[in-house]
Amino acid sequence: MAPLMNLVRLRGFPILQQLHLEERMLRTSSSNWCIINDGTTSPTVVMGLSGKVPELVEAKSVLRDHIPVIRRFTGGGTVIVDQGTIFVTLICNKDDVSDVQPFPRPIMSWSGQLYDQVFKGLADFHLRENDYVFGDRKFGGNAQSITKHRWVHHTSFLWDYEVKNMSYLKLPAKAPKYRLTRDHTDFVCSMKEYLPRSEFVERTIKAIGAQFSVKSINLESTEIPSSSQFVHTTRLLTEQELLDACTIQT
Amino acid sequence: MLTRISHRKLWTSARRVLRPSLCRTSSARLPSPLSHSHTFSSSAFALRSTTYAYFDFNFLHWKRHCFSTQPALELPAGKIVDVPLAQTGEGIAECELLKWHVQEGDYIEDFQPLCEVQSDKATIEITSRYKGKVAHVLHVPGDIVKVGETLLKILVDETAFPSATVGDSEITKSLHSDQVLVNESASAIAALGNSNNAELLDSDLEKRKRAAVLSTPAVRSLAKQHGIDINEVCGTGKDGRVLKEDVLNFAAKKGIIVSVSAVLDADNVEKPRGAEGYTVTPEYKSPSEDRILPLRGYQRAMVKSMSLAAKVPHFHYVDEINCNALVELKTAFQKNNPYPDVKHTFLPILVKSLSMALTKYPALNSCFKEDSMEVILKGSHNIGVAMATPNGLVVPNIKNVQSLSILEITKELARLQQLASENKLTSEDISGGTITLSNIGAIGGKFGSPLLNLPEVSIIAIGRIQKIPQFDGNGNVYPVSLMTVNVGADHRVLDGATVSRFCNEWKQLIENPELLMLHLK
């Protein structure tokens, strides 16, 4: 009997709220959850938990253009997300995925195998270091958080992206080896050249369905962990923090 | 909140070694523990034997990982145990400590979350194996902790008064960027080694605990150099952090040093951590100390490519080229230069004439496939030019030189040089080369014996053009601008005769550049 996976399908859901929901699901629920958010709202910068604004973000531009900057509860790098980003999050009890050791690398590999199924026959998909690539170009970035009995592995997929939005981000000091000296436009690619959004979502749900018994849950359902009393780690950075970063950067 | 230490008995356990009193944790010059494996409080954390030491210290899972003993459960009450950062997965050598869920003095249950660390893309919660009281927290958020390093010390079962002294307390910190802060009170535990001074130490520790000072290892080292107790220095940095200037000002006030500004000026300026491909400048401690340089980016790539090149049987062919005509030509280009932002050098002319010679001797513009025993004669002349950048050696290439004019080559070369110096070369720029030119003469030297840039089969190193006297046919001395070249070739596919003929052809084109006009299309 395959373990149960609660599926929450969203579209255009604000990323801050999504991250809050994910964190509550990780820490207060004991069910398996899959969230698929087909595009968020306006462009938002999302940094990893230990991300430092002056190192990762062009603070001046971000302030000028009123781009929100979020620090999320999982590790990893910085992304700028918008309507062209598709999010897929998997929150699992380690015992329900018992053949996967609850450590970063095994979870990453397991996810790579899942998406192998999603893109089979459509594209030259690989898990390369910690990224999802077509050939040697990144189209999906990953982050995780591992607790005592559960873990979350979430991905932001570039279905499409605006080159000008990338200018809000600084070139990261830490980059994967396979990147070599490529700049952003040579390093990333978009999924839209390979398959339509809806097909990606359907294929993903199907791949998950091969390992779990998928049950669709509405956002309004009582099964969704409530936010009262919960102190979220993910937060929106204040204007002052961005101004401080500006000062450091000049 | 520290338990009083009995100084009646010295306790030695099989897994602990008493250490001499230590006052500092930050300096790498500390004597290393007598036996580092003893720092691990139990062989449950003997990482060498397993790939995965389970994070969730759930006893039931230990059996899977072949731990031979479970000593932690058998510890007599009142022991302080070291809790190290356990392995989080293959190839992960260190993690960043993000936050503590507990603080010193807290009572914790087994399996209670202790802290959160980050390794690469994952944040990981660490739970406690023990039930007891947090005795000492040894790192602050932001610290990079190596796998195996002690994270904190737990006094297991505080109900009984311990008859033992504390065990190993060495915290071997690795050298890392000076952004890391060390909490002074953590080092206090080191002083507990000598039980004879237990009472004294106890109060000393209390004092240290109260005076917990934040500062970087470099600043602590500086204070030590001047014989200053860093706890006495008033910190003016963020959160009361003691900065270098604070130590120097304190020293000046004490009359230890004469001029603060002189000391500050004399120090090296720390280079900032650059983008990918930059070498990390290690912390500068003193001239006679070893420095560890991790190889990244271009330097790392060089290790790989040169190791491969060394496997190829090279031969080197050396010749001298009279560059009088070349010098004249370059001067002529400069004089009649309609493009003020274009700077004419020798290299583009050499590159173009090289391409002309390759047309006649395509074997030198090829690549060898060992598995299929095939030589591919490349149609394009993508001539690579070795460049020394602040980040290391890189070889971008000029594509299709056979179709480019000398002016176009000059501009393309300038473009690549600019990108190389800014570390902005694309993979397109550095791949697809068919032959390489190394102008080592630009820096100095007569000639070098270059190593092939695989999968190419030849490489040419050109030395500095030197003015030397030569005899003409009548025995008269005249000055000649001479350039020595060394052609390195893959002897599996090229023989001396071919290379020699090719070199003669190229030499002729350089010594008689008017011949280039003959081939103008």
- pLDDT, residue B212, reads 59
Q: Is the pLDDT of residue B381 over 90?
A: yes
The rounded Cα A33 to chain-centroid distance in angstroms is 14
Determine the Cα angle at A200 with ends A197 and A206, to 5°: 145
pLDDT, greater one: B9 or B420: B420
Asked if residue B400 lies in contact with residue B380, where contact means CB atoms within 8 angstroms, the answer is yes
Cα B286 to Cα B295: distance, rounded to the nearest angstrom: 21
Highest mean predicted confidence (pLDDT) among B24-33, B159-168, B374-383, B389-398: B374-383
Q: What is the mean pLDDT of residues B85-107?
A: 83
Given CB atoms, is A66 within the 8 Å cutoff of chain B? no
- pLDDT, residue B225, reads 75
3-class secondary-structure state, position A3: coil
The pLDDT tens digits of the residues spanning B42-66 come to 333 333 433 333 444 443 343 444 4
The pLDDT tens digits of the residues spanning A239-249 come to 999 988 888 88
Give catalytic residue positions of B. Answer: 491, 495
Q: From the list B121, B428, B430, which residue is nearest A75 (CB)?
A: B121
- pLDDT, residue A98, reads 84
φ, ψ of residue A68 in degrees (nearest 5):
-70, 145
Q: What is the mean pLDDT of chain A?
A: 91
Contacting residues of A for B57, CB less than 8 Å apart: none
Q: Chain A interface, mutation test: which of B121, B145, B418, B422, most A Cβ atoms within 10 Å?
A: B121
Q: Is the pLDDT of residue B276 over 80?
A: no
Q: What is the pTM of this model?
A: 0.47
Adjacent-strand bridge partners of B385: B437
C-alpha dihedral sign at A58, A60, A63, A65 = negative
Buried b (16+ CB within 10 A) or exposed e, A203-229: bbbebbeebbebeebeeeeeebbeeee
Given CB atoms, is A130 within the 8 Å cutoff of chain B? yes
ipTM of the complex: 0.85
- pLDDT, residue B274, reads 35
Q: Is the pLDDT of residue B380 over 60?
A: yes
Q: Which CATH number is A4-248's, of 2.30.30.830, 3.30.930.10, 3.40.50.720, 3.30.70.20?
A: 3.30.930.10
pLDDT more than 90, % of chain A: 65
Confidence band, pLDDT 50/70/90 cuts, at residue A214:
very high
Confidence band, pLDDT 50/70/90 cuts, at residue B90:
low
Judge: B98–A49 Cβ closer than 8 Å, yes or no: yes
Least confident window among A20-24, B14-18, B76-80, B430-434: B14-18
Q: What is the mean pLDDT of residues A103-131?
A: 92
Q: What is the mean pLDDT of chain B?
A: 72
Q: Where are the domains of chain A?
A: 4-248
Q: From the list B92, B423, B427, which residue is nearest A186 (CB)?
A: B427
Distances (CA, A) of B7 to B77, B192, B201, B205: 18, 11, 11, 15
Judge: A103–B89 Cβ closer than 8 Å, yes or no: yes
Judge: A186–B118 Cβ closer than 8 Å, yes or no: no
Confidence band, pLDDT 50/70/90 cuts, at residue B183:
very low
Asked if residue B92 lies in contact with residue B148, where contact means CB atoms within 8 angstroms, the answer is no
3-class secondary-structure state, position A173: coil
Given CB atoms, is A73 within the 8 Å cutoff of chain B? yes
Contacting residues of A for B113, CB less than 8 Å apart: 147-148
Cα A45 to Cα A38: distance, rounded to the nearest angstrom: 17
Judge: B121–A142 Cβ closer than 8 Å, yes or no: yes
Q: Is the pLDDT of residue B98 over 70?
A: yes
Judge: B122–A180 Cβ closer than 8 Å, yes or no: no
Instruction: Tell me the three-class secondary structure of B390-434, residue by residue.
Output: CCEEECCEECCHHHCCHHHHHHHHHHHHHHHHCCCCCHHHHCCCC
Q: Is the pLDDT of residue A25 over 90?
A: yes
Least confident window among B148-152, B193-197, B292-296: B193-197
Cα A119 to Cα A85: distance, rounded to the nearest angstrom: 17
Residues 6+ apart with CB under 8 A from B26: B173, B182, B187, B216, B217, B220, B221
The pLDDT tens digits of the residues spanning A56-98 come to 999 999 999 999 999 999 988 999 999 999 999 999 999 999 8
Tell me how close the Cα of A144 comes to any Cα of chain B, in angstroms: 4
Q: From the list A145, A172, A174, which residue is nearest B122 (CB)?
A: A145
Q: Chain B interface, mutation test: which of A181, A183, A231, A247, most B Cβ atoms within 10 Å?
A: A181
The pLDDT tens digits of the residues spanning A169-193 come to 988 878 888 888 888 888 899 999 9
Domains of chain B by range and CATH?
79-156 (2.40.50.100), 301-518 (3.30.559.10)
Give B268's DSSP letter. Answer: P
Q: Is the pLDDT of residue B217 over 90?
A: no
Confidence band, pLDDT 50/70/90 cuts, at residue B266:
very low
- pLDDT, residue B356, reads 93
Cα B389 to Cα B283: distance, rounded to the nearest angstrom: 22
- pLDDT, residue B220, reads 82
Q: Is the pLDDT of residue B96 over 50?
A: yes
Q: Is the pLDDT of residue B466 over 70?
A: yes
Q: From the list B89, B111, B118, which residue is nearest A49 (CB)?
A: B118
